[in-house]
Amino acid sequence: MQTRAAVLTAIGKPAPYAASRPLEVRPVSLEEPGYGEVLIRIRAAGLCHSDLSVINGSRPRPVPMVLGHEAAGEVVDVGPGVDRLQPGDHVVCAFVPSCGHCGPCQEGRPNLCEAGAEANARGTLLSGARRLHAEDGDSLHHHLGVSAFAEYAVMSQHSLVRVPPDVPFDELAVFGCAVMTGVGAVVNTARVPAGALVAVIGLGGVGLAALLGAAAAGARRIVAIDVNPAKLRLAETLGATDVFDARDPDVAPQVQAATGGGVEFAIETAGAVAALETAFRVTRRGGMTVTTGLPHPDARFALSPALLTAEERTLKGSYVGSCVPSRDIPRYLEMYRRGRLPVNRLLSGHISLDDINDGFDRLDRGEVNRLVMVPST
């Protein structure tokens, strides 16, 4: 079938993207779903810094590629062997498909699926296939098994979680990345207990979701740190008890003074080495620093190993919020229904597929939290 999609043809084009147009919205061919695959009508897709990192070259991926990994949609058709879904189902996309057979999957850690990671690095579906093709017939790469900046997409059934039909698609979309990653970093990776001291460094969509997760977990004090005053003001309305400007060279001593020696859990979501350094510095003795950020692969973080021993510190990575998507997305949706995770307040507005480059300019300038693309189909 034919569909329209936003194709990234070259990495590293300069901003403003409305002028350089790294994403070309054009017709592409989409094959029928193969074994274990599903055809999805994309109903909403969030613009995430992970997409921006591919555009600007911080996270190199094979091109040409149809971008987009945080999305929700409706099942249109299923291929042979699909036993989890049927046409009409509403679904949230999970950007690491899980094979169910490798070591991490068998240990209950599908976010670290080896086959899923290999497929994502190659720009294929979990099966190894590429179902997207340019008008000249050349294959296009899939982004993290999803490729949601399109009207339709084919994905593995293992990239999809069926959800109830009563939540709007634009709100559902953010559960696929921002909520899974941010809330999951708090409740799964850090296991923040009620009454804890928590800091969130970086207030994009993931960071704000982490803040909501800390509030839902019952943290008694939540410190928000960012360079954007507007996001700090928003953080205060979402549960932050203290806000600090990350541009202040004394921000770490200020947080330490305000919290009596630092926080027990610091969650870094900015994907920048400076942010991780700040997160580590505001973590108290015996505390845990969790990073969800993905800076350029060549970036390096320097620390004194003696601190890990002498202060019993923990520095821990969190990928996809250490989530089991089929378990956690329904849990977080129920928390949203009960008013404990007001993720709808993270939404900054909607754009069409044709406005995708302008949308990434707005994200790059820090003007939005979660901008949602809604295809005009």
All structural domains of the chain with their residue ranges: 2-176+342-373, 182-318
Q: Is 298 exposed, middle or buried (0-12, 13-18, 19+ CB in 10 A)?
A: exposed
Structure tokens at 184: 């999951």
pLDDT of residue 376: 74
Nearest alpha carbon to residue 40 among 220, 136, 185, 169: 169
> What is the pTM assigned to this prediction?
0.97
CA distance 184 to 376: 32
CATH homologous superfamily for the domain 182-318: NAD(P)-binding Rossmann-like Domain (3.40.50.720)
Amino acid at 336: Y
CA distance 183 to 188: 8
Contacts of 318 (CB under 8 A, 6+ apart): 181, 184, 185, 188, 189, 190, 290, 291, 292
CA distance 329 to 177: 10
CA distance 247 to 232: 12
Pairing of strands 70-78, 37-46: antiparallel
Q: Which CATH number fits domain 2-176+342-373: 1.20.810.10, 3.30.710.10, 3.90.180.10, 1.10.1060.10?
A: 3.90.180.10
Helix (H) / strand (E) containing 122: helix 114-122
Regions of the chain where pLDDT drops below 50: 377
Q: How many helices (H) and strands (E) does the chain have?
A: 13, 18
Q: What angle do CA 108, 114, 116 make, to 5 degrees?
A: 95
Q: 130 to each of 66, 124, 206, 268, how far by Cα in Å?
A: 11, 5, 29, 34
Cis ω for the linkage preceding 62 (within 30 of 0): no
Helix (H) / strand (E) containing 351: strand 347-351
Contacts of 336 (CB under 8 A, 6+ apart): 167, 171, 342, 343, 344
Give the chain's largest Cα–Cα span: 63
pLDDT of residue 350: 97
Q: 32 to each of 59, 131, 266, how far by Cα in Å?
A: 29, 8, 45
Question: Facing residues of 3 across strands?
Answer: 28
